[in-house]
């Protein structure tokens, strides 16, 4: 009888010790937060998804398909900006119209070098200005020795090619309707420049900085700009309203203005730098 009682007490002691360990382990697991990567104190930082396409001099792809964007003024500005914000970035190729859809659906975070417009306001928030650029009508000297215009009605007899989805200003849209301007659309500025060089169209509107870069890169020596702009656009960074970056928009604007003040914009943009924007809010 004594032996049986001793064995029973040993069993109870063993069982109690292990049960206590099990309860403590469950409690620890219950109260310790675990992130998606299994580390509670160091969760993975969110990555800013930046939409890009070949659009020199702002975004430049050197591969044959012109899809691997690795450099350009906008790329340098973004890399410096997000370094200051301590946010990693990932560049994703997407043509212009697909980029707008991705921003609208939350499939990406940032669309660089975009103009502010009421049509985009429901799904896109905008930073302070990054750059101001005139949009000028380009023509070929093989077609006209010299071209200029003064009133919208002056353009009604010309064949014009624009880019789908681009914002050329409210006055442009009104002029197309009011004066019946003969405007058709392509996917890119480069397509329109090729058609201009070939004499298939007479005019195409281009951002000055982008047009100069495209003409120099592709050897379009006979294309010139009219003096009068159809619109002067203010280029900004557009943020998806579904992005985690929205709550950091005030900080983003502070950093962009700091980069204008401390000489970063001047260093990156070189001859394209427009100092009148350094105090823009």
Helix (H, G, I), strand (E, B) or coil at 260: helix
Question: pLDDT digits over 93-132, tens only?
Answer: 999 999 999 999 999 999 999 999 999 999 999 999 999 9
Q: CATH number for 48-130+235-277: choose from 2.40.10.340, 3.40.50.720, 3.30.1330.90, 3.40.190.10.
A: 3.40.190.10
Question: pLDDT digits over 4-30, tens only?
Answer: 555 445 444 554 555 444 444 444 444
Give the number of other CB atoms < 10 A from CB of residue 134.
15
Is 280's pLDDT higher than 50? no
Is 150's pLDDT higher than 90? yes
**What is the pairing mode between strands 124-126 and 223-240?**
antiparallel
Q: Please state which CATH number belongs to domain 132-233.
A: 3.40.190.10
Residue with tokens 């809010």: 281
Overall residue count recorded for the chain in this entry: 281
Which of 201 and 2 is assigned the larger pLDDT? 201
pLDDT at 91: 97
Of 99, 163, 100, the residue nearest 91 (C-alpha): 99
Which of 201 and 67 is assigned the larger pLDDT? 201
Cis bond leading into 47, ω under 30°? no
Domain boundaries, the chain: 48-130+235-277, 132-233
From the number of C-beta atoms within 10 Å of its C-beta (0-12, 13-18, 19+), residue 39 rates as: exposed
């Amino acid at each position: 009888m004594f032996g049986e009682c001793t064995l029973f007490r040993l069993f109870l002691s063993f069982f109690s010790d292990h049960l206590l360990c099990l309860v403590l382990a469950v409690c620890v697991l219950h109260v310790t937060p675990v992130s998606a990567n299994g580390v509670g104190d160091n969760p993975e930082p969110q990555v800013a998804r930046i939409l890009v396409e070949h659009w020199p001099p702002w975004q430049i792809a050197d591969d044959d398909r012109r899809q691997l964007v690795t450099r350009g003024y906008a790329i340098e500005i973004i890399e410096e900006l997000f370094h200051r914000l301590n946010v990693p970035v990932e560049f994703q190729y997407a043509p212009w119209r697909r980029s707008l859809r991705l921003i609208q659906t939350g499939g990406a975070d940032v669309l660089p070098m975009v103009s502010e417009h009421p049509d985009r306001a429901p799904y896109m928030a905008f930073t302070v200005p990054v750059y101001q650029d005139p949009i000028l009508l380009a023509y070929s000297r093989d077609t006209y020795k010299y071209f200029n215009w003064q009133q919208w009605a002056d353009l009604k007899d010309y064949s014009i090619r624009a880019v789908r989805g681009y914002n050329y200003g409210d006055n442009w849209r009104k002029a197309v309707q009011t004066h019946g301007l003969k405007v058709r659309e392509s996917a890119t500025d480069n397509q329109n420049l090729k058609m201009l060089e070939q004499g298939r169209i007479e005019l195409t509107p281009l951002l000055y900085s982008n047009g100069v870069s495209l003409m120099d890169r592709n050897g379009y020596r006979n294309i010139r700009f009219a003096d009068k702009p159809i619109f002067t656009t203010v280029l900004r960074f557009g943020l998806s309203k579904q992005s985690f970056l929205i709550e950091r928009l005030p900080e983003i604007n502070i950093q962009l203005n700091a980069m204008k003040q401390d000489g970063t914009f001047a260093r990156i943009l070189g001859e394209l730098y427009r100092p009148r924007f350094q105090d823009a809010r």
